[in-house]
Amino acid sequence: MPAPETDKLTPATERVCVKLFLEGFNHLRGRNVKPEKGNGQVNMAYETVIMDDTSEKEKKSAEQNEKDQDTAGKKTPKTSKPGSGNRVSSGQKSPKGGKAEKGRSTPSKGNVKKAAEEKKEETPAPGEEPAEEGVPEGVVPLFLSSKTQEIFHCRCDEDVTEENPIKIITKQEILDDMRNRAAVCDFHPIKQEVIDYPTDEILVVYDYDFKYGQNFYCAITEEAKEKILNPQGPDGGEGAGQEEEIVYTYIPPEPKDWVSLGSEKEIKEESVTENRRRIKVSVKRVRREFGAPYKFKDRNVADAKDGCIDCTSFDDRAFDLKKMELDKSIQSIPEFVEEGTQTDWKYPRNATTQYQPREYSQKEKEQLENSKNLQTSVESVTPRFKLALQQNEIMDVFYIDWLHLGDADGNFGNKSDNHLKEYQSFTDLQFSKEKSITCIQWHPTIKGVVAVSVAEKMTFDERIDSAAKVIMTPSLILIWSFTDPIHPQLLLEAPDDIYSFQFSPSDPNIICGGCYNGQVVLWDISAHADRLKQPRGGNRNKKSNVLPGFEDPNALKTPIVRYCAVSSIENSHRAAITDIQWVPDHMEVNRMGVPQENKSMTACQVMTCAADYSVLFWDTRPPKGPGQLNFGAKNEKNDKTQMGVPSTFKHLDLSWKPMLKVHLHKSEPGGDHSPVKFSIQEKNGDRRALSKATDATDMSRENAMGGGYYTNKPGSGKDKRTLQSVKTHFFVGTEDGEVVYVDWMPVKDQDTGKIVTPKPDFYNAIHDGPVNTVQRSPFFSDIVLCVGGWTFTIWKEGVTTGPILQSSANPVKMTAGHWSPSRPSVFYISKNDGSVDVWDLLDKTHEPTLTQSVSPAPITTIFPFQISQKQHLLAVGDNAGTLHILEIPWSLRQPTPNEVSGISNYFDREVKRRSFVVMRWDFRENEKRELEQEQKRKAGIAPNVVLTDEEIEYRMKQEYQAYLDEEAAFLRELGLLKEEDEPLPET
């Protein structure tokens, strides 16, 4: 049916509607609008107006009627429009010409409504002096100061309000205040009236609207007091209101022609329609079987194979619920649908049930209470009742001691165990045997799933000599599950050996890895996510609900997943990628290195480093134009290429190149730094930087959609906020054993004008071998663990003089290190002899707390992981291709009381000790220099040190360059430095 259309309002109707709106608005505020007066009469306060179709004649009549009312000022009832009803008023006019009683009735069919009317004075217009002509007899306006209000407990809007304005004050209290404050008392102007007041209680009323010119008024006579406390209506009654009788006449609405405004297109888009052909199922049966006689009989379930399939429910711990964004719409008008039912509908009937509980009569109650049997029973059970109450107060009688004899953590080792226990080991005779494990990563969401990358145990020269063998040997990442220690769950194929990889923190189905040839690789395992969640082997058959004959024949085969995208060779690293990290999902870095807010809250950038003196930033989003990138499951045919590879990163394959390059220059000539490991301060999940973000230029664009969808191209940053609190400096470990602290944000060279990476703030060649670990503490973002050569060091960000802790040289070379995820003072160090050292800084700082041999082969990498609160596992990979899973004992996973504060105090003490040592070094150097100068002066050979012009100019340039760098850093922190995007320098 076409929707009715509303006509425009006539000018007279508009004025009435505006008047009604103003009066209703001021009524809600507790005030009244000053009514319009004309010849001593007041226009109608409320009129019932129902908009309907009227002829031009009726419109002119309404306008003329409104003009007559404005000029004549007489209260003439306005003719109601059709359908509005006829109003019959039994009330009379107010005796005063300046006021009129207002009544409003709520329409109700066939009923008469009564409305209580309130009589209110006019509110003076703003800027005008309130007139005191209307002050009733016996009432005196008073101004009471805040001090007086506190004395008499009548503070405005606290003790007295607009709803409760009345305050009774005793006469004696006012006289005492006059005696104490004399003329300062606010009641002094009516002193004589107060003295002559006949009774002991004086009425004071809070004047909220300043109706009489002051904030209070006082009744100085009993008559005025009685009128205020008991107001009377115009007819002498006590506030009796008018009665209005409203008669309504129903007029059915008339349909209007529907005018299209474009909404039908949106409704059509949101409507669910069939967009594919219906599926046809053909069922065949032999004709002779139709109409055949049948006879049923009982059969034992065990007599037939698969006679009964039990679909038992079980708790799926690997269940993962994914939230997706859906467009939903609602419509106020119900849609027409066709439905059918075979149930006979019964007309509903009202039915009630009333009951009354049966009770003893009063006589029976008295007999039972006085019976000897009841008294004897109570006396007999009283001792046992008291004993039970005492036992409840003393102990828990329901506590089962036998079940709690063992330790709560007995399933995973008790408190007395201090050794790492072998939990499980994984090795594959075809793909990982006689290979070296280069990297270990636990699955972020699925417990019991761990991935390892393996590589050939060859040097660079050996790889060149056996290049044909290396090319023919597949390079894989093996994903293992605890449910099947023999066969890997997935095999990720790579173009070359993988030395480092990491799961995406936003979508665990996305994996990024770095190859030996310098290329960056991306995998999408969304199609195999269910395979990782479901157990294999015997455990799977027990809980399987698959019908016999419908099993997947490839369920026990290990699928090989090909990579989705690989970076172009000419734009990749020139050496093996030794470390890779995802940029946290709440931030992104533009081409100028400025950290900005990532509106999609999905990790989309990767950092890599190699020994080619560079750290590169990569962006996984489409480089040109708006594109859509879906990290979700791939269900459609178009989501895969001809080789079955997901097309998630098809736009990056063989054309992917870095967006930002950080070249690690040395401060002095002699080569550059060769990074192998790095660590940034920001970590995934820490959103504190977003609260301190500042707007870049324009925030008018809408946020990008979440859930793995990207619609903005990277680079410009004009619609994103700059994260000022994100630290752009990061630690880098080099191939020469150096620890470098550098800023990734490029700056302009003052000499050439090109954009280059700034020189490191400091670097320290403290390790006697290549650095293999640079990791920040999970509890302190400014504490960094570095392992390299035969020593390890602990650095604190902000301390540039050196490490706050350095170990002595170990007899065996250290290969990797990792902080404990649960104890802030514990970290693990693996060594070349196949053993693992456990260090507890709160226990010992000069030697490890525990040293345990794990493998006969050298250990290459370690990774501890928290499976649950009571189970922590340590993954250890060796040089023989075996992955060892060790169980961490209770003493190494349970933090001690106040361990965080204890280790924090220890780090602070080490910082103070380090500053004291540096101060003593400087003091001794100056002392030695002064002694040498004193000896030369006594010998008479002390030369006057005179700098040459070149040395003076060089020193002045150094000082000026330091000043410019400090100024640029200061302006960058304030967000005042605006630098144009320039192309990166060619390398």
One domain, residues 203 and 115: no
Strands of the sheet containing 113-114, edge to edge, are: 86-89, 243-247, 113-114
Of 122, 313, 316, 291, whose CA–CA distance to 212 is shortest? 122
pLDDT at 76 over 50: no
pLDDT band at 518 (very low <50, low <70, confident <90, very high): very high
Give the separation between CA 756 and CA 472, rounded to whole angstroms. Answer: 41
Partnered with residue 589 across adjacent β-strands are 595
Alpha carbon 296 to chain centroid distance? Answer: 62
pLDDT at 689 over 60: yes
Sign of the CA dihedral running 959, 964, 965, 971: positive
In a domain, 791, yes or no: no
Task: Look up residue 189 and give its two tokens.
Answer: 């102007």
Tokens 């780090």 map to which residue?
907
pLDDT at 673 over 50: yes
Tokens 């301190």 map to which residue?
692
Span 783-828, pLDDT tens digits: 999 999 999 999 999 999 999 999 999 999 999 999 999 999 999 9
**What pLDDT score was predicted for residue 122?**
41
* Total Cβ atoms within 10 A of residue 828: 24
Provide the domain limits for residue 151: 139-230
Question: Between 89 and 668, whose confidence is greater?
Answer: 668
User: Which of 228-242, 314-328, 568-582: highest mean pLDDT?
Assistant: 568-582
The 10 Å CB-count burial string (b at 16+, else e) for 116-142 is ebeeeebeeeeeeebeeeeeeebbbbb
Give how many domains the chain has, as a whole number: 2
Percentage of residues in the chain with pLDDT exceeding 70? 75
In a domain, 244, yes or no: no
Give the separation between CA 576 and CA 770, rounded to whole angstroms. Answer: 14
- 77-86, 173-182, 327-336: least confident range: 77-86
One domain, residues 147 and 202: yes
* Total Cβ atoms within 10 A of residue 220: 19
One domain, residues 63 and 18: yes
**What pLDDT score was predicted for residue 255?**
85
Give the separation between CA 426 and CA 432, rounded to whole angstroms. Answer: 9
pLDDT at 79 over 90: no
The 10 Å CB-count burial string (b at 16+, else e) for 403-416 is eeeeeebeebbeee
Q: Where are the alpha helices (DSSP H) in 274-371?
A: 362-369
One domain, residues 113 and 145: no
Question: Between 133 and 430, whose confidence is greater?
Answer: 430
In a domain, 753, yes or no: no
User: Which of 658-672, 683-697, 880-894: highest mean pLDDT?
Assistant: 880-894
**What pLDDT score was predicted for residue 699?**
41
pLDDT band at 729 (very low <50, low <70, confident <90, very high): very high
Question: Between 831 and 646, whose confidence is greater?
Answer: 831
User: Phi and psi (nearest 5°) for 218?
Assistant: -120, 140
Sign of the CA dihedral running 481, 487, 492, 498: positive
Span 275-325, pLDDT tens digits: 888 899 998 888 888 888 888 888 887 777 777 777 888 777 767 777 777
> How far are the Cα atoms of 14, 249, 927 from residue 644, in angstroms, in the given order?
69, 73, 74
**Contact predicate 747/662, CB 8 Å:** no
In a domain, 74, yes or no: yes
In a domain, 498, yes or no: no
Span 912-937, pLDDT tens digits: 999 999 999 989 998 998 888 888 87
Percentage of residues in the chain with pLDDT exceeding 90? 34
Give the separation between CA 99 and CA 121, rounded to whole angstroms. Answer: 8
One domain, residues 80 and 162: no
One domain, residues 217 and 156: yes
User: Phi and psi (nearest 5°) for 141?
Assistant: -70, 140
Report DSSP letters for 129-156, one per residue: PPP-TTPPTTEEEE---HHHHHHHT--B
Question: Between 496 and 977, whose confidence is greater?
Answer: 496
- What number is the average pLDDT over the span 465-483? 87
pLDDT band at 832 (very low <50, low <70, confident <90, very high): very high
Kindly report the pTM of this predicted structure: 0.56
pLDDT band at 51 (very low <50, low <70, confident <90, very high): very low
One domain, residues 156 and 111: no
Give the separation between CA 915 and CA 928, rounded to whole angstroms. Answer: 20
Question: Between 978 and 240, whose confidence is greater?
Answer: 978
pLDDT at 92 over 60: no
One domain, residues 24 and 71: yes
Of 634, 726, 1, whose CA–CA distance to 334 is shortest? 1
Domain end: 173, 205, 230, which one?
230
Of 586, 448, 610, whose CA–CA distance to 516 is shortest? 610
Alpha carbon 348 to chain centroid distance? Answer: 50
Question: Letter for the amino acid at 943?
Answer: P
User: Which of 471-480, 508-517, 554-563, 742-751: highest mean pLDDT?
Assistant: 508-517
Report DSSP letters for 792-831, one per residue: EEEEETT--S--SEEPPPPSS-EEEEEE-SS-TTEEEEEE
Q: How much is the mean pLDDT over the chain?
A: 78
679 CB-contact burial (10 Å; exposed 0-12 / middle 13-18 / buried 19+): buried
pLDDT band at 406 (very low <50, low <70, confident <90, very high): low
295 CB-contact burial (10 Å; exposed 0-12 / middle 13-18 / buried 19+): exposed
Span 602-625, pLDDT tens digits: 999 999 999 999 999 999 988 655
511 CB-contact burial (10 Å; exposed 0-12 / middle 13-18 / buried 19+): buried
- What number is the average pLDDT over the span 217-233? 83
Is residue 834 left, alpha or beta, with left meaning phi > 0 and alpha meaning psi from -120 to 50? left
**What pLDDT score was predicted for residue 22?**
53
- What number is the average pLDDT over the span 707-718? 42
- What number is the average pLDDT over the span 58-76? 50
Span 248-286, pLDDT tens digits: 888 888 888 888 888 888 878 877 788 888 899 998 888
- 8-17, 46-55, 857-866: least confident range: 46-55
Strands of the sheet containing 565-566, edge to edge, are: 498-503, 510-515, 520-524, 565-566
Question: Secondary structure of the chain: what % helix, strand, coil (to 5)?
Answer: 25, 20, 55
User: Which of 96-105, 169-178, 200-209, 608-617: highest mean pLDDT?
Assistant: 608-617
User: Phi and psi (nearest 5°) for 426?
Assistant: -130, 135
One domain, residues 84 and 42: yes
484 CB-contact burial (10 Å; exposed 0-12 / middle 13-18 / buried 19+): middle
In a domain, 373, yes or no: no
Task: Look up residue 599 and give its two tokens.
Answer: 């509106």
One domain, residues 86 and 157: no
In a domain, 95, yes or no: yes
Give the separation between CA 475 and CA 496, rounded to whole angstroms. Answer: 5
One domain, residues 21 and 104: yes
In a domain, 939, yes or no: no
One domain, residues 95 and 147: no
Domain end: 204, 230, 256, which one?
230
- Would you mind telling me the total number of residues written for the chain in this entry? 987
pLDDT at 415 over 80: no
Radius of gyration of the chain (CA): 44
Give the separation between CA 18 and CA 655, rounded to whole angstroms. Answer: 67
